[in-house]
């Protein structure tokens, strides 16, 4: 008799379209089994061969919380590169390491938190106020820069295979979410439709439509009264109907409980769960043993029985979730999934370490360089004093949501490695990051007095800024303060800076922080200032290279440095009026887009293809950029636009294009930029996007223009065009 053939179920038949396979699997599942897959700790369904899966993993600036991994600069540092191609490369490397770690975990039958392929990154909330402790996780204050960095990060994480996803990117926290941290579980962010659509949503829209992110995470708070995790406006109308999103929505961790317990929008957990799912939230981050976190989606079975939700709505959510797992290759033989072949040896490989160093280099921003104090001549320095609480600190390099760097390099270690052999390096901590003790000041002053030059390494830490309740990135037993009340450096650090300055020695200030600081006194007195953020595992080496002129700083600020918290509206006010460079009417300490170089650049030969266009036309312009100095370096050309005759409130200026280019001395490159009708449009009082007739001005150069100035610097060229009726 012929051998009998075993008929495999359709959901395991890799020759069938993935949608048919998923539909077949759902038909075989009970209601209880379906609901079990809607929480982040999804158990196995053994009778159907569905493996257990934990949806929670992190990839903010490297694979997080899962042991050794390549640690790139914190997200705010990634944005400071203004280099979208580099960011896509970084994200691709992160996904490679995540894939390798995931498959190694499976080989050991480990399916716990932080081993999966669904990454809850990037954080693309707009950093509207520098007091927000989680602003360090974002790409800054500008919707366009955030969108461009975010789209490329998403593409890097998800890969370019036509059938399989390398990993799933999850832009968060959707939407209108940026503090206060202590109120995030109860807060109602009230925002106008104009601010919602012109500031808070554009980056999410770009990541979904252009980046094709397959997941999105909803926020804890309410927006205009609706819980973000159960918002028909955000999750159904905007996300699915307007943007055509076909992926799944995951709640922030514990946010479904907030609907009932904190926002008080329902009278029971069953109602909260049903409301969230019916509004479009497919997956609950809950039932997390590691964080003693309850969950509410298991109450969906009772909700179905009570008629609060029907099984077809459950099926829709489960279908979206299973589609993600199928597209990740979790139901296919590993040899058919190209990303399953990535070896564990890629994790923290030499190539990835070099990329971390290069990214750190490109993230550094030179804020001041009076009389060209930098770069320092290594051969002429007999002694260097390295002073400050962040100088010999490797934990601070990591920021938050990080993996463990195998060989992190502090600023002190980087200086020691690159200084001339006969140069004496003297280190003194001087003070703690936050504590008020002044016990080390005398020793630090003495070290400075005996040195040729002083490198002061100051700033913030996860203790001073972070997530509500955050212990990550802090010394044992220390919890982050969350949001900040002031933009100043802690008093002990400020006093140490002034004491060292009084020695009369040349001083370089290196800042390590995740948000803007009001260093007004230092900006006036200290001759050289370098912004390093939390620069990742290679941060100390990158800083040392810049200090000694082995590399040329080319980063630009993705946020405004204000002079005082007094320049800001109330923190709880989500109106964009007088916030960020787009609306701020005061004088900043350092402007969005600002950054210096060791060389000089010139802009010339500006050409515009049209000076009068119809409302549906784009504008194309070209400009020549030349390195006119004596050192190779990177220039970031920035294009800003202003609608001169708008009938409704619009930004005073807005970034519409940029490009980072590397130029050797005397090298010239022609750059081409395009201003689209969408970038010329405004949201009228009826909620329509329109391009109004009138005059538009634009500026292109190496920094943000001062629109109130009669004459711009030589490095900024200005033009205009008219949109006709």
> Would you say residue 394 has pLDDT above 80?
yes
Query: What does the pLDDT read at residue 5?
Result: 63
Strands 365-369 and 528-531: antiparallel
Share of the chain above pLDDT 90, in %: 96
**Contact predicate 330/90, CB 8 Å:** no
> One of 96, 252, 258, 332 is an active-site residue; which one?
252
Residue 2 has pLDDT above 70, yes or no: no
DSSP 290-309: GGTB--SGGGHHHHHHTTSS
Spatial contact of 293 and 287, defined as CB atoms under 8 Å apart: yes
Of 235, 319, 320, 308, the residue nearest 273 (C-alpha): 308
Look at residue 3 and tell me whether its pLDDT is greater than 80: no
> What is the 3-class SS of 673-702, one letter each residue?
EEECHHHHCEECCCCCEECCCEEEEEEEEC
H or E segment to which residue 188 belongs: strand 188-189
360 confidence band (pLDDT: 50, 70, 90): very high
Q: DSSP letters along 495-555, please?
A: HHHHHHHTTT--EEEEEE-SS----HHHHHH-SEEEE--S--TTHHHHHHHHHTTSS----
Asked if residue 173 has a cis previous peptide bond (ω within 30° of 0), the answer is yes
Segment holding 582, helix H or strand E? helix 580-583
User: What phi, psi does 360 have (nearest 5°)?
Assistant: -60, -45
DSSP-derived secondary structure letter, 217: E
The verdict on whether omega for the bond into residue 175 sits within 30 degrees of 0, i.e. cis, is yes
CA distance 695 to 534: 42
d(CA 176, CA 170): 16
Query: What confidence tens digit (pLDDT) does each residue in 595-637 have?
Result: 999 999 999 999 999 999 999 999 999 999 999 999 999 999 9
- Mean pLDDT lowest for which of 53-67, 121-135, 429-443? 429-443
d(CA 308, CA 418): 66
- Average pLDDT (240-251) is 98
Residue 661's H or E segment, with its range, is strand 654-663
345 three-state secondary structure: helix
Structure tokens at 14: 């890799």
Q: Tell me the C-alpha distance between 164 and 690, whole Å.
A: 39
Using one digit for the tens of pLDDT, what is the confidence trace for 18-76? 999 999 999 999 999 999 999 999 999 999 999 999 999 999 999 999 999 999 999 99
Q: Alpha-carbon distance 616 to 464, whole Å? A: 48
Angle at which helix 411-418 crosses helix 539-547, to 10 degrees, equals: 50
What pLDDT, on the 0 to 100 scale, is given for residue 536? Answer: 98
Rounded mean pLDDT of 198-204?
A: 98
- The DSSP code for 519 is -
Run of H or E residues at 93:
helix 84-107
DSSP SS3 for 450: coil
Share of the chain above pLDDT 70, in %: 99
Domains present along the chain, CATH in parentheses: 10-346 (3.20.20.300), 364-552 (3.40.50.1700), 601-723 (2.60.40.10)
CA 665 – CA 437 distance, rounded (Å): 48
What b-and-e string marks burial along 669-683, b requiring 16 or more CB atoms within 10 Å of the CB?
eebebebebebbbbb
Average pLDDT of the segment spanning 402-410: 98
Instruction: Give Cα 394 distance to the centre of its chain.
Output: 21
Instruction: Give Dmax (Cα) for the chain.
Output: 98
Residue range 556-606, pLDDT digits in tens: 999 999 999 999 999 999 999 999 999 999 999 999 999 999 999 999 999
Of 262, 264, 256, which Cα lies nearest the Cα of 300? 256
> For position 1, what pLDDT does the model report?
42
pLDDT tens-digit map of 331-358: 999 999 999 999 999 999 999 999 999 9
Judge contact between 367 and 594, C-beta under 8 A: yes
Mean pLDDT value across residues 533-540? 98
Q: How far is 694 from 643, CA to CA, in rounded Å? A: 8
Please, are residues 377 and 419 in contact by the beta-carbon 8 Å criterion?
no
| Token couple for 500 | 């060292």
What's the N-to-C CA distance of the chain in angstroms? 82
642-667 mean pLDDT: 98
Q: How far apart are CA 207 and CA 155, in angstroms?
A: 9
3-state SS track over 315-343: HHHHHHHHHHHHHCCCCCCHHHCHHHHCC
pTM score above 0.95: yes
State how far the Cα of 250 lies from the Cα of 229, in Å rounded to an integer: 8
Whether 252 is catalytic is yes
The pLDDT score that the predictor gives to residue 439 is 87
H/E stretch holding 356 reads helix 350-363
Any idea which residue has 């996803």 for tokens? 165
pLDDT on residue 425: 98
> pLDDT value at position 294?
85
DSSP string, 23-72: HHHHHT--HHHHHHTTBSEEPPBGGGTB--EE--B--SSSS-SSSB---P
Question: Which helix H or strand E contains 460, and what residues bound it?
Answer: none
* For residues 137-143, average pLDDT: 98
**pLDDT score recorded for residue 531:** 99
Averaged confidence pLDDT in the chain: 97
Q: How confident is the model at residue 711 (pLDDT cuts 50, 70, 90)?
A: confident
Pairing relationship of beta strands 716-723 and 694-701 according to DSSP bridges: antiparallel
From CA 126, how far away is CA 137, in angstroms rounded? 10
């Amino acid at each position: 008799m012929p051998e009998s053939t075993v008929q495999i179920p359709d959901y395991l038949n890799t020759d069938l379209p993935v949608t048919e396979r998923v539909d077949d699997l759902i038909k075989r599942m009970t209601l209880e089994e379906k609901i079990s897959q809607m929480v982040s700790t999804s158990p196995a369904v053994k009778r159907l061969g569905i493996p257990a899966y934990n949806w929670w993993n992190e990839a903010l600036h490297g694979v997080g919380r899962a042991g050794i991994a390549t640690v790139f600069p914190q997200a705010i540092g990634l944005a400071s590169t203004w280099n979208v191609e580099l960011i896509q490369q970084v994200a691709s490397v992160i996904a490679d390491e995540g894939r390798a770690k995931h498959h190694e975990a499976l080989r050991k039958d480990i399916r716990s938190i932080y081993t999966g392929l669904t990454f809850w990154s990037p954080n693309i909330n707009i950093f509207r106020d520098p007091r927000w402790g989680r602003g360090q996780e974002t790409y800054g204050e500008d919707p366009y820069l955030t969108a461009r960095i975010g789209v490329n990060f998403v593409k890097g994480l998800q890969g370019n295979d036509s059938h399989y996803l390398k990993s799933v990117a999850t832009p968060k926290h959707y939407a209108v979410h940026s503090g206060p941290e202590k109120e995030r579980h109860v807060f109602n962010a009230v925002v106008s439709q104009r601010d919602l659509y012109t500031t808070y949503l554009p980056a999410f829209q770009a990541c979904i439509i252009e980046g094709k992110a397959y997941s999105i995470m909803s926020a804890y708070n309410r927006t205009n009264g609706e819980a973000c995790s159960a918002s028909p406006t955000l999750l159904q109308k905007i996300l699915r109907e307007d943007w055509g999103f076909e992926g799944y929505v995951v709640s922030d961790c514990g946010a479904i409980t907030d609907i009932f317990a904190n926002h008080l929008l329902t009278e029971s957990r069953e109602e909260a769960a049903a409301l969230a799912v019916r509004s479009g939230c497919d997956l609950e981050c809950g039932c997390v043993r590691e964080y003693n976190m309850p969950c509410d989606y298991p109450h969906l079975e009772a909700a179905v029985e009570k008629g609060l939700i029907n099984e077809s709505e459950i099926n829709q959510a489960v279908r979206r979730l299973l589609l993600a797992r199928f597209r990740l290759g979790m139901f296919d033989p590993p040899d058919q999934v190209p990303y399953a072949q990535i070896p564990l040896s890629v994790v923290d490989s030499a190539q990835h370490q070099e990329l971390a160093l290069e990214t750190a280099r490109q993230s550094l921003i030179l804020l001041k360089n009076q009389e060209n104090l930098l770069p320092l001549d290594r051969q002429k320095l007999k002694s260097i004093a390295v002073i400050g609480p962040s100088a010999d600190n490797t934990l601070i390099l990591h920021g938050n949501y990080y993996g463990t760097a195998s060989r992190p390099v502090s600023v002190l270690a980087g200086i020691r490695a690159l200084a001339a052999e006969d140069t004496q390096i003297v280190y003194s901590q001087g003070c703690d990051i936050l504590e008020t003790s002044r016990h080390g000041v005398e020793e630090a002053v003495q070290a400075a007095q005996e040195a040729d030059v002083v490198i002061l390494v100051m700033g913030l830490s996860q203790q001073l800024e972070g997530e509500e309740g955050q212990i990550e990135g802090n010394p044992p037993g220390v919890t982050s303060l969350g949001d900040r009340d002031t933009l100043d450096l802690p008093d002990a650090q400020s006093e140490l800076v002034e004491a060292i300055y009084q020695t009369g020695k040349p001083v370089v200030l290196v800042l390590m922080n995740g948000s803007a600081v009001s260093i007004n006194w230092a900006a006036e007195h200290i001759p050289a200032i370098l912004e390093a953020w939390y620069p990742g595992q290679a941060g100390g080496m990158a800083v040392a290279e810049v200090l000694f002129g082995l590399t040329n700083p080319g980063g630009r600020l993705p946020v405004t440095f204000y002079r005082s918290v007094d320049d800001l509206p109330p923190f709880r006010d989500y109106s964009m009026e007088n916030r960020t460079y787009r609306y701020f009417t005061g004088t900043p300490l350092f402007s969005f887009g600002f950054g210096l170089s060791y060389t000089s650049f010139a802009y010339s030969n500006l050409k515009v293809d049209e000076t009068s266009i119809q409302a549906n036309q784009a504008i194309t312009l070209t400009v020549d950029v030349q390195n006119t100095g004596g050192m190779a370096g990177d220039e970031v050309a920035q294009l800003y636009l202003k609608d001169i005759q708008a009938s409704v409130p619009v930004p005073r200026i807005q970034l519409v294009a940029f490009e980072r280019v590397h130029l050797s001395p005397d090298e010239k490159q022609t750059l081409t930029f395009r201003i689209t009708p969408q970038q010329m449009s405004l949201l009228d009082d009826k909620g329509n996007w329109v391009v109004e007739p009138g005059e538009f001005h634009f500026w292109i150069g190496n920094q943000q223009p001062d629109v109130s100035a009669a004459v711009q610097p030589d490095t900024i060229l200005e033009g205009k065009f008219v949109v006709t009726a």
